Structure 1
Amino acid sequence: MRTIQLGTSSLEVPVVAVGCMRINSLEKAEAERFVQASLEAGANFFDHADIYGGGACEEIFADAIHMNDDIREKIVLQSKCGIRKGSFDFSKDHILTSVDGILKRLKTDYLDILLLHRPDALVEPEEVAEAFDKLESSGKVRHFGVSNQKPMQIELLKKYVKQPIVANQLQLSITNANMISNGVNVNMENESAIDRDGSILDYCRLNDITVQPWSPFQYGFFKGVFLDNEEFPELNAQIDEIAKKYEVSNTTIAIAWLLRHPARMQPVTGTMNIERIRDCVKASDVHLTREEWYEIYRAAGNILP
């Protein structure tokens, strides 16, 4: 699979990341087959979070991949922390405790990347900086990033944190594309012109932060997938037409649409289906034309001024 540089780090990573939020829905043998199929397809970047399955997803993954030192050096592991039941927590103690739990469950000595999961309204960036310094000096975490954060939230962290922010994981799909559409509809009096994220897409491009789109097939906030959904007839007709041209599935085209954007994104899949993860990986080899990209964009109901 094609690779990109993750932020300003030295990591070369696959353009498609394997999200493991639903791996606890698989039986042991199924999880082993899924992880192996991902590796065979070149998808060796695995995204986790300490809240997925209450931590069970990390344990299941470690068992499914038969974690050992040899395997560990062949994969890239990313996990997230900061969400607690009823609150968010970026305190030094919580970050450090969370990482220790993550490493134990994943049966590894280090994470390649740690992301702060959702913005903590009570964040004290000095504490985050202390936690990151300790994690880096101990070798427990090699690179750091955030998730669901706006430019000024990242800037506040950067005032104290010395490590580069290499990634920002954000909700983005063909049907959830406000971070793109608000930049298209500048100064227009329509819903698409509303800037809900402080121009985070441009900010990440300007600062060499890799955008990792999560839920690349979802519409709304986990309302369901738009592919083969009767609520999106025009969009699916357009995707299917382009998929036929490239002789790939509609899944492949949905990921290829994100990869066509020059921000050099790294979509995070959520599927536990082997054929679908293979279809996601195939998007690495599909380069949509400018016209095709805009045809899909408009078919989703996104307007051009």
Structure 2
Amino acid sequence: MKTIKLGTSSLEVPVLAVGCMRINSLDKQGAERFIRTSMEQGANFFDHADIYGDGACEEIFADAIDMNANLRSQMILQSKCGIRKGMFDFSKEHILNSVDGILKRLKTDYLDVLLLHRPDALVEPEEIAEAFDKLESSGKVRHFGVSNQKPMQIELLKKFVKQPLVANQLQLSITNANMITNGFNVNMENSSATDRDGSILDYCRLHDITVQPWSPFQYGFFEGVFLDNDKFPELNKKIDEIAAKHSVSNTTIAIAWLLRHPARMQPVTGTMNIERLIDCCKASDVELSREDWYEILRAAGNVLP
């Protein structure tokens, strides 16, 4: 699988991150097979969060493979913290306690990457800076990033945090592509012109922050998958046409569409189906033409100005 540098770091990562939010739907044998197949495909970057299954997903992941030092050295582990029941919490105490819990559940003594999960309205960036310094100096976390944050929220953090923010995990798919489409609807009076994120895509490119698209197959906010969905006939017709041309599945094309963007993104999968995961991994070897990329964009209902 092709690789990219994660942000400004020297960490070489596969172009695909394997999301583990649903790994608690598998039994131990199924989870082990899923993880080992991922690694065989070169997809050794695993994305977690302390809220996935209320921590159970991290435990299941580590238990399934009997986590040990040798296995740990072969994988890249990312997790997220900051979401609590009914609130968000970026306090120093919560971040430090969360990381300790994550490490315990994953049976490791360090995370390759820690992301702050969703913006906390009561954030005190000085506390985040203190937490990051402690986590870095103790060796518990090697790289840091954010999730679902817009430029000014990141700038506020950067005023105090000395560590580079290497990634920003954001919702992005063919059908949820406003961060792309608002860019060529400048000064237009239509819904696509609405900038909902402060030009976060351009910001991340300017500052070498890797965008990690989550829910790359979803439309709306977890409303369902657009592939093979009767709600999107034109889009599926076009994706199927291009998939046939490349002799791959529609799943592969949906991921290849994201990888074709010059921002050098790292999509996060969510499937626990091994065959579908393999189809996702095949996208690393498919490069869509400019014509195909725009045809898919338009088939999703986007009108070029």
TM-score tier by shorter-chain length is over 0.9
State the partner residue of 1:25. 25
Query: Letter of the aligned partner of 1:232 in structure 2?
Result: F
State the partner residue of 1:98. 98
Instruction: Give per-residue Cα distances to partners, 1:154-200, cap 9 Å, x unaligned.
Output: 00000000000000000000000000011011111000000000000
Equivalent-residue separation in structure 1 for 2:303 and 2:80 (angstroms): 34
Instruction: Name the SS of the counterpart of 2:211 in structure 1.
Output: strand
**Alpha-carbon distance, 1:4 to partner:** 0.2
Instruction: Name the SS of the counterpart of 2:113 in structure 1.
Output: strand
Q: How does 1:140-151 map to 2 (within 5 A)?
A: 140-151=140-151
Q: How does 1:111-122 map to 2 (within 5 A)?
A: 111-122=111-122
Instruction: Name the SS of the counterpart of 2:213 in structure 1.
Output: strand
Equivalent-residue separation in structure 2 for 1:26 and 1:16 (angstroms): 21
Query: Letter of the aligned partner of 2:280 in structure 1?
Result: C
State the partner residue of 1:54. 54
State the partner residue of 2:39. 39
Does 1:108 find its partner at 2:108?
A: yes
Instruction: Give per-residue Cα distances to partners, 1:222-254, cap 9 Å, x unaligned.
Output: 000000000000000000000000000000000
Equivalent-residue separation in structure 1 for 2:76 and 2:93 (angstroms): 25
Equivalent-residue separation in structure 2 for 1:202 and 1:23 (angstroms): 33
State the partner residue of 1:67. 67
Query: Letter of the aligned partner of 1:251 in structure 2?
Result: T
Equivalent-residue separation in structure 1 for 2:144 and 2:302 (angstroms): 33
Instruction: Name the SS of the counterpart of 2:30 in structure 1.
Output: helix
Instruction: Name the SS of the counterpart of 1:253 in structure 2.
Output: helix
Query: Letter of the aligned partner of 2:105 in structure 1?
Result: R
State the partner residue of 1:289. 289
Equivalent-residue separation in structure 2 for 1:204 and 1:100 (angstroms): 29
Equivalent-residue separation in structure 1 for 2:65 and 2:268 (angstroms): 19
Equivalent-residue separation in structure 1 for 2:263 and 2:66 (angstroms): 35
Equivalent-residue separation in structure 2 for 1:287 and 1:66 (angstroms): 37
Equivalent-residue separation in structure 1 for 2:199 and 2:66 (angstroms): 42
Instruction: Give per-residue Cα distances to partners, 1:20-70, cap 9 Å, x unaligned.
Output: 000001111111111111111111000000000000000000012221001
* 4+ long deviations beyond 4 Å: none
**Alpha-carbon distance, 1:274 to partner:** 0.2
Equivalent-residue separation in structure 2 for 1:136 and 1:235 (angstroms): 45
Query: Letter of the aligned partner of 2:215 in structure 1?
Result: S
> What count of residue pairs does the alignment treat as equivalent?
305
Q: TM-score, normalised by structure 1?
A: 1.00
Instruction: Name the SS of the counterpart of 1:50 in structure 2.
Output: coil
Query: Letter of the aligned partner of 2:46 in structure 1?
Result: F
Equivalent-residue separation in structure 2 for 1:167 and 1:77 (angstroms): 13
Instruction: Name the SS of the counterpart of 1:216 in structure 2.
Output: coil
State the partner residue of 1:224. 224
Instruction: Name the SS of the counterpart of 2:295 in structure 1.
Output: helix
Query: Letter of the aligned partner of 1:233 in structure 2?
Result: P
Instruction: Name the SS of the counterpart of 2:142 in structure 1.
Output: strand
Q: CA RMSD in A?
A: 0.4
Instruction: Name the SS of the counterpart of 2:36 in structure 1.
Output: helix
State the partner residue of 2:125. 125
Q: How does 1:9-20 map to 2 (within 5 A)?
A: 9-20=9-20
Equivalent-residue separation in structure 1 for 2:58 and 2:302 (angstroms): 37
State the partner residue of 2:179. 179
Does 1:211 find its partner at 2:211?
A: yes
Instruction: Give per-residue Cα distances to partners, 1:246-275, cap 9 Å, x unaligned.
Output: 000000000000000000000000000000
- Indicate the percent of aligned positions where both proteins have the same amino acid: 84
State the partner residue of 1:168. 168
Instruction: Name the SS of the counterpart of 1:256 in structure 2.
Output: helix
Instruction: Name the SS of the counterpart of 2:126 in structure 1.
Output: helix
Does 1:195 find its partner at 2:185?
A: no
State the partner residue of 1:264. 264
Equivalent-residue separation in structure 1 for 2:229 and 2:116 (angstroms): 33
